[in-house]
Each structure stands twice: as structure tokens, then as C-alpha cells.
Chains A and B, each alone.
Chain A
Amino acid sequence: MSLFIMKKSLRCYFLIIIIFLSCEKKKEQYFNKIVVDFNTTQEINTSSFIEHFKIIKLSTSNKTLIFRISKVQYKNGKVFILDMPGNCIYIFNNSGELEQKLSKQGAGPGEYIQLTDFYVENENLFILDYTQQAIIEYDKDFNFINKIRIQNFGSSFIHQNNSYWVYNEPSGKVPDYQFTALDKKGDKISDVLSRNSANHQFNWTGVNVFCINGEEKYLSPRYTDTIYRITNNNIQPEFYIDFKKRRLPGKENINNYDISDPDFSYLIKHNFYISKKYMIFDYIKDMKRYYCIYDRENNMNVSGSVNNDLIKSFRFFPRWGNDNYLIEELTPDILINDFSQSPQFKRFIDITKEDDNPLIIIYKLKEESA
């Protein structure tokens, strides 16, 4: 009898080990390691990964005077613009005409004190009020729907399957988690990715921590080498960027380094964008911006400086992106002073004044192999 139980137990153990090993194998399959050839001097043409582009000149009036663009999203043929110093959100159409403006400063229901982020889903607009530490949801006509309180110092967020993922600015506490998942009522589900020290000389900002590609949502702490996919209420590493001998040592915190210093020798990811076909990120080497274009279908990547052969005599410097789009802002003063020779901007030069609203360039990434 005891022999029978022992045999049975052994079989169960083996089965559990097999299940465990198969799960481990599955994890490896989903983990993409991207080795960056940072010694390359090659140029990557924009036409090799961008299908087409459009230039949108945002209309200018007293009602639509943008102070400074902090974030742009392109959704359902509309351009959503966060003006953080102006503390409002503009929605322009494809022709650059203003369709709506959210400006509800205050502490009453449906009002906010300081916007730091927004998110668009099914025509509803979600905003993050940094001062109140709250996420407020509006319908397409900006009627107030819901408000939840968040904790810590949340500065940006996304919505995923009835939960919110919030990026927290440093709190000075230990442990200090960079991301928090909250349910629809604002109750904490989990904290992830602790900062490995409390007090830093810098708090490097200016790059994204979330990326949206349809239903796929990703997060990655600023200037780090791992990008995680959000799955239900958890995260799993999806891309690992390997700068080989120029990578920042794993336990180091980027906020302890002066990344603006020309002598800063480590290579670090800046913005990252994930589309159906690509994962794209930029990095700085020798005071120059480089890009790595990783083809998700073929598991191959190319790194180098980007030559904008689609828009002649112009830079390539997208700062935002969502789904299959990369988005760049061109302020009128830079257009007039630096890129007036570009043939694609010729028609805008004569009608643009230095104090006009910026131009927005929307690059549509390729979806299929050529």
C-alpha cells in the first residue's frame, strides 16, 4: 500500500516538475534580447520603416495659444495635446482645426489643479491631476464620469482592463516603488519595480515610461534597459536591451549620474515605441542621438543615426508615439531658423509666424514586411 502511495507521489512530483519547466521555457520564448551594435556608423533611412507621414499645422487663435507641448497622442484621427504649463488639453482634427479644449481648473467635482498626463480610451478622456493625486474620467463631451484618488506622487498613467497603472515620482521613502497598479476604485492592487535607493541628485524626466500598441500595454522605468508587458495585474519582461560593455551596471540608479555630462559614458534607452511590427528606441552616444529599430517579426535590429529621406533637409526626432504612429513637434522658430530649406515645409514657411502654434508631424510606421 505504502509502495503504491510512494509511486503515486513520485508521479505527481514529476508532473509538477514538468509543468514548472514548461512554464520556464515559455517565459524565455517571450523575452527578446536586443543587442545594440553601438559601434556602427550606418545611416538608417526613414523610408525603411515609415510608410508615410503627414504634417499638421495647428491653428492659432487667442483660444488655442499653446504654451508648451508636454505630450501628444494621435487617436481616431484626432491630435490630443497636453499643455502642462497652460494646464489644459487641446483636441485638433487632421486639418489642424481645434475641436475641443479641456480647461477645468479648480477643486470641485470634475475639476483639476495641475494636469501632468492624459489617456484616451473609447472616446473617453482620463486625466491625471498631480496636485490632487487623482485620476478623473470624462466622456467625449468632457462631462465628469468618475474620480479616484491615487497615492504616492503619480505623474503618468495608463488604463488597462479595469485597472490603472501609475508611474510614481520619487517619494524619498524606502521602499520606493516606481509603478503602482490600482483598481477602478483606486484601491492598490500591487507595487512593482522598487527604486534601489532613496535620495538622488537628479530625477531624470523627459522620456516615456508607458507605451500603448492597441490592446498591448508596456512599461519601462526611465533610462533603463528592460521593457515589461502589462499582463492582467502583473508585468513580465518582454524586451531586454543589451548595450554590452557600455551598459549601466544593473544595481546603479541613473538618477545618481549626470547624463547631460559629455563624459557620461554609459548608453541608456531614452524613449521607446512599440508598434505591430517594430520596437524602436533612441539613445545618445557622443552627444548625438541614435536609434535602434527592432523588427519584431524577424527578431532582427539595426542601429545607427537616422536620415530623414522622406522629409528632405530635416531632422528625425519623434518625442511621442502610440500604436503605429510616431509623433514629432516642430515649433515655428525652429522651422523658420533651421529647416526653411526643406521642400516639404515650403508651403508652411510663408504662412507661419514665430508665435504661431507648432506643426505636428505624424509618421505612420510600416506594418507589413516589404
Chain B
Amino acid sequence: MKKRILSGLFALAILAATGYSVNKSMKSDTGLSDLALANVEALAQYENDPPSRDKWTKMSFQCLDSNGNPTGKTYISCIKTGYLDSCTSTSC
């Protein structure tokens, strides 16, 4: 009986230790000053490929009748900022 309890405690200790190390590594980040973090963030922001305001995002919609059923047609709405070179809006 004593052995069983000890084994159980050993397994729990492994889990607790894992939980602690995760927690500890997360807490260690708070050692950096807010200013340093802000600088890192500013550098990391859009480092590679920023969203382009000169390109487009295309949205496709189903055309619907007044009861909410589809008519079989599609319309396109274009929003500035995206990755497409061109986009043409259409209507139902």
C-alpha cells in the first residue's frame, strides 16, 4: 500500500515539475523591461511582408432573393489592402 502511494506521488511530482518549468519559463519573460519589449515588437512588426494598401482583397458573395434563397449568381466586393494586383467589383 505504501509503495503504491509512493509511486503515485512520484508520477504526480513529474507532472508538477513539468507544470512548474513551463510556468517558470513564461514568468522569466517578465524580466525584460517594457521598453525593450516594445523595441523588439516594433522591429518584428511587418518585418517581411507588410499588408499592402496598394493591393486588393476579393470577397465573393452569393446573390440572394428576398426570402434569403440563392439566385444562382455571385457578386464580388473589393477591399483595398490585400495581396491581389487587381479586383473588379460586380453586382447581382
Contacts and interface: CB of A to CB of B under 8 A. Distances in A.
A261 B69 contact: no
Interface in A260-274: 260-262
Interface string B49-90: 101010001111111001111111110010111111000000
A237 B70 CA distance: 29
B92 to A, nearest CB: 10
B41 A185 contact: yes
Interface in B1-20: 4, 7-8, 10-11, 14
B79 A289 contact: no
Contacts, number: 97
Contacts of A171: 83
Contact of A131 (B11, B46, B70, B80): B80
- Classify chain B's interface size: 35 or more
A77 interface: no
A193 interface: no
Contact of A15 (B7, B58, B69): B7
A133 to B, nearest CB: 5
A169 interface: yes
B70 A15 contact: no
Given A169-B82, A337-B66, A15 B41 contact: no
Specify which of B4, B14, B79 lies most central, judged by the most chain A CB atoms within 10 Å of its CB. Answer: B79
A205 B66 contact: no
B30 to A, nearest CB: 13
Contacts of B71: 260
A300 interface: no
A260 B10 contact: no
A202 B74 CA distance: 10
B81 A205 contact: no
B68 A12 contact: no
Contact of A259 (B58, B62, B80): B62
B60 A114 contact: no
A261 B10 contact: no
A203 B83 contact: no
Nearest to B57: A169
9 nearest CB pairs, A to B? A317-B68, A205-B59, A202-B60, A172-B83, A11-B7, A260-B74, A15-B11, A315-B67, A206-B61
15 contacts: A11-B7, A114-B80, A130-B81, A131-B81, A153-B81, A169-B82, A172-B83, A187-B41, A204-B61, A255-B60, A260-B70, A284-B70, A289-B68, A315-B67, A334-B66
Interface of B: 4, 7-8, 10-11, 14, 37, 41, 45-46, 49, 51, 53, 57-63, 66-74, 77, 79-84
